[in-house]
Amino acid sequence: MKTDIIGKYLLFIPVLIFSIGNSFPQQFTIPPELFSRAERTWYEETSLNSDVASFCKTAGSMSKYAHTEVFGKTKEGNDLIMVVLANPEISTPEEAISSGKPVIYIQGNIHAGEVEGKEASLQLIREICFGPKTKLIDNQILIFCPNFNPDGNDKLSATSRPSQDGSPALTGARVNGEGYDLNREGIKLEAIESKAFMKNIIHKWDPDLLIDLHTDNGSWHGYTINYAPAYKTVGHDIITDYVQDKILPEATKSMNERSGIPVWFFGNLTQKTGESPVYSTYSHMPRYIVNYMGLRNRMGILIETFSHEKFEKRVLSNYLFLVSLLEYTNSHAGEINEITRSADSETVRLISEFGGKMEKGVKYKIAEAEKTIQLLMRETEEYQTVDGRTRIKATGKLYIADNIRYFDHFLPVKSAVVPFGYVFPGTLSNVAEKLKEHAIKVSILDIRHPIEAEEYLIESFNRDSRAIYGGHYPVRVEGRFIRKKLTAEKGYYYVDMRQPLAWLIFYMLEPESDDGLLYWNFFDNYLENRGIEKGPVPYPVLKLMKPIDSMLKSL
Ligand SMILES: [Zn+2]
């Protein structure tokens, strides 16, 4: 009822728009489709798929800056919708390249119970299209996908976010229509949405920065937004350093100046009896899409909204922090372009110069910061629910806790030599196809090649008995590398590491990688057929210790 009244009322709201280069305001009526369901229901409900679709289509048809496109279809037949915002308007990746502007991709609702990013994205799209935030596309191209998990979005339930403040009453499901958690897909890329994202966003538009919008389950710290960069593993340091030391602190400062809403780095707070509290971040693994971006020499920012706040404040915080981030990126667009491009060329240079000589980590562990931190905290108290359960709620008071131990980065616990390239038998087409899905260049040897290689002998093969993320049984191996002169046969796949995606290739193909293709079962059949259950078997991916072309010349 309330919705209808508000919807009709909005039809007649005149909004003052200041057009660029014109000091006289124009009157413009924003149609009801350009107000989110959250806004129209006083934040009692979240936007349905149909709301997001009509919002994005209306923005695309009415705004001179917006191009709306369907970039995929889900298992349940829902559209994956993106809105490209640029001034002047563009509709193709070629136009983005020739504009020379960086591309920023903002994704909401990957977990469809975590709806704040979706709502904030819609509001921000409207205000970029029709003012007052049009200036955010002066120097950059923004691509919004407000609803990355539409199959989860409309499966509304009161229990999908149990630890959240009671608003909105109903939210969507975490997983997609196939049952995948879309934020564990960075390496294996199995879900329909992930494949569409890779093909139509990453390959085509090659975003310099990805912003992934989530809602946390809620340690009782005092921040409304937490964030994290793509954590450093093998990828190029300048990417993470820039996000961690420049973008995030500057956006935090401007968020504080504009709103006073406290925001800080992501962490979970734990305390064992008799010990001081510990604040530690989540994971370095590239299965998480933000970390994955780092392996592509691209920037990533994870945003987690504090779930115990009221819904309206959660959306507002997302909106304001997005504005703070995008103001920074807009005013440093040239710098961002330069950093990602130089990470690409530097990667190729490093491999060409130090291939076969340098080592990088393949397994990591979380590590403690040198100093303890002060953390803004919420005071909490226990209360009894009507069914007699004990729960915790905030009293409203904030305080500062001292001497918190802080685990904020990752260090390698196992390293391996970074080779000039990898070769593996032509029977492993599943591996070659997966590499190609990531836009990695893979070729096929047309003649036999002598090679100087490292072969890994798998001496211990352990497969978990419990399935994770779409029926995978994680594999961990132990063994040793043996340097040999071997022959790569005609028809073998060849992956030259002297390409910008070298760090991703390394993480995917190293046998002891903690998130590589061996871990995700891509070699199970091959190894079982060769008796891995009974004894040691050589891992079929050989590491080239000299460039393959130089070996050929020596024939
Ligand atoms: Zn999430």
Least confident range from 90-99, 206-215, 245-254, 374-383: namely 374-383
Distance in angstroms (rounded) separating the CA atoms of residues 455 and 457: 6
CATH number at residue 74: 3.40.630.10
The predicted model gives 417-428 an average pLDDT of 98
Residue 484 in tokens? 């040999």
Q: Of 305, 322, 353, which residue constitutes the final position of a domain? A: 353
Q: What are phi and psi of 175, to 5 degrees?
A: -90, 165
User: Would you say residue 360 lies in a domain?
Assistant: no
pLDDT band of residue 28 (cuts 50, 70, 90) is: low
Domain-embedded: residue 272: yes
Dump pLDDT digits (tens) for 343-370: 999 999 999 999 999 999 999 999 999 9
Whether 161 and 304 share a structural domain? yes
Residue 173 in tokens: 């499901």
User: Buried (b) or exposed (e) across 398-425, using 16+ Cβ within 10 A?
Assistant: eeebeebebbbbbebeeebbbbbbbbbb
Please check whether residue 40 lies inside any domain of the structure. Answer: yes
Confidence bin at 552 (pLDDT 50/70/90): low
156 Cα: distance to centroid of ligand 1 (angstroms): 16
pLDDT at 5: 39
Does residue 411 surpass a pLDDT of 50? yes
Find the 211 Cα to ligand 1 centroid distance in Å: 13
CA distance 107 to 121: 8
Q: Give the Cα separation of 551 and 544 in Å (integer).
A: 10
With a cut of 70, say whether residue 1 has pLDDT above it: no
Q: How far is the CA of 191 from the centre of ligand 1 (A)?
A: 16
328 and 392 fall within a common domain: no
Average pLDDT rounded to a whole number, residues 118-138: 97
Query: What angle, 0 to 180 degrees and rounded to 10, lies between the N-to-C axes of helices 248-259 and 311-331?
Result: 130
**Both 346 and 437 in a single domain?**
no
User: pLDDT confidence of 393, banded at 50, 70, 90?
Assistant: confident
Separation of 214 CA from ligand 1 center, angstroms?
4
Q: What are residue 385's DSSP bridge partners?
A: none
Q: Domain check: are 196 and 304 in the same one? A: yes
Residue 362 lies in a domain: no
Characterize 151-177 residue by residue with b for buried, 16 or more Cβ atoms within 10 angstroms of its Cβ, and e for exposed.
Answer: bbbbbbeeebbeebbebbebbbbbbbb
Measured in angstroms, how far is the CA atom of residue 350 from the centroid of ligand 1?
35
219 part of a folded domain: yes
Ligand 1 mean position, distance from CA 521 (Å): 25
Tell me the C-alpha distance between 106 and 122, whole Å.
11
What sign for the dihedral angle of Cα 152, 157, 163, 165? positive
Range scoring the smallest mean pLDDT among 95-99, 385-389, 423-427: 385-389
The answer to whether residue 363 sits within a structural domain is no
CB-facing half-sphere around the CA of 198: CA atoms within 13 A = 22
The predicted pLDDT at position 386 comes to: 87
Distance 116 CA to ligand 1 centre (A): 11
Query: Is residue 359, in this structure, part of any structural domain at all?
Result: no
Question: Which amino acid is it at 383?
Answer: Y
**Range of lowest pLDDT (304-313, 366-375, 410-419):** 304-313
Percentages (nearest 5) of helix, strand, coil residues in the chain: 30, 30, 40
Please check the confidence at residue 20 and state whether its pLDDT lies above 90: no
Q: Kindly report, residue by residue over 430-488, the tens digit of the pLDDT.
A: 999 999 999 999 999 999 999 999 999 999 999 999 999 989 999 999 999 999 999 99
**Number of domains within the chain:** 3
Judge if 347 and 434 occupy the same domain.
no
CA atoms within 13 A on the CB side of 316: 13
11 pLDDT above the threshold of 50: no
Whether residue 89 is found in the same domain as residue 105: yes
Distance from chain centroid for Cα 391? 32
Indicate the helix (H) or strand (E) that contains 475.
strand 475-488
Question: Which CA distances in Å does 147 have to 73, 106, 411, 448?
Answer: 12, 10, 34, 49
Quote the ligand 1 centre to 517 CA distance (angstroms): 24
Q: How far is the CA of 342 from the centre of ligand 1 (A)?
A: 31
Q: What is the mean pLDDT of residues 15-40?
A: 68
Query: By C-alpha distance, which of 36, 40, 59 is closest to 108?
Result: 36
Strand, helix or coil at 215? strand
CA–centroid distance, 303 to ligand 1, in Å, is: 9
Phi and psi at residue 151, to the nearest 5°: -65, -30
d(CA 102, CA 381): 47
Q: How confident is the model at residue 214 (pLDDT cuts 50, 70, 90)?
A: very high
Q: How many CA atoms lie within 13 A of 191 on its CB side?
A: 28
Between CA 172 and CA 38 the distance in angstroms is 14
Co-location of 376 and 448 in the same domain: no
Closest C-alpha among 150, 184, 157, 182 to residue 75: 150
Report phi then psi at 142, rounded to 5: -110, 130
* Nearest partner of 546 among 489, 492, 497, 480, judged by Cα: 497
Strand-pairing partners, residue 455, are: 482
Mean pLDDT across the chain: 92
Q: Are strands 263-265 and 449-463 parallel, antiparallel or unpaired?
A: unpaired
Predicted pLDDT at 18: 44
Q: Give residue 81 CA to ligand 1 midpoint distance, Å.
A: 19
pLDDT of residue 27: 59
Q: 215 alpha carbon to ligand 1 midpoint, in Å? A: 6
Range of the domain at 152: 2-353
The β-bridge partners of 365 are 411
Flag the least confident range among 49-63, 342-356, 376-390, 481-495: 376-390
In terms of domains, do 387 and 532 share one?
no
> Is residue 525 pLDDT above 90, yes or no?
yes
pLDDT at 193 exceeding the cut of 90: yes
- Residue 198 Cα to ligand 1 middle (Å): 19
Q: Does residue 320 sit in the same domain as residue 460?
A: no
Same domain, 398 and 539: no
Inter-residue contact 348 to 342 (CB < 8 Å): no
Quick check: is 475 in a domain? Answer: yes
Q: How far is the CA of 482 from the centre of ligand 1 (A)?
A: 42
Based on the fold, state whether residues 381 and 287 are members of the same structural domain.
Answer: no
**Alpha-carbon torsion, ordered 87, 208, 263, 240, to 10 deg:** -160
pLDDT band at 308 (very low <50, low <70, confident <90, very high): confident
DSSP letter string, 388-434: S-EEEEEEEEEEEEEEEEEEEEEEEEEEEE--SEEEE-TT-HHHHHH
Mode of pairing for the β-strands spanning 299-305 and 209-215: parallel
Residues 6 or more apart whose Cβ sits within 8 Å of residue 529: none
Looking at the structure, do residues 428 and 490 belong to the same domain, yes or no? yes
Q: What is the pTM of this model?
A: 0.93
Q: How far is the CA of 305 from the centre of ligand 1 (A)?
A: 9
pLDDT of residue 16: 45
Cα torsion through 334, 328, 213, 310, rounded to 10: -170
Tell me what pLDDT residue 273 has.
Answer: 77
Per-residue pLDDT at 432: 98
Dist CA 103 CA 82 (whole Å)? 13
Q: How far is the CA of 10 from the centre of ligand 1 (A)?
A: 32
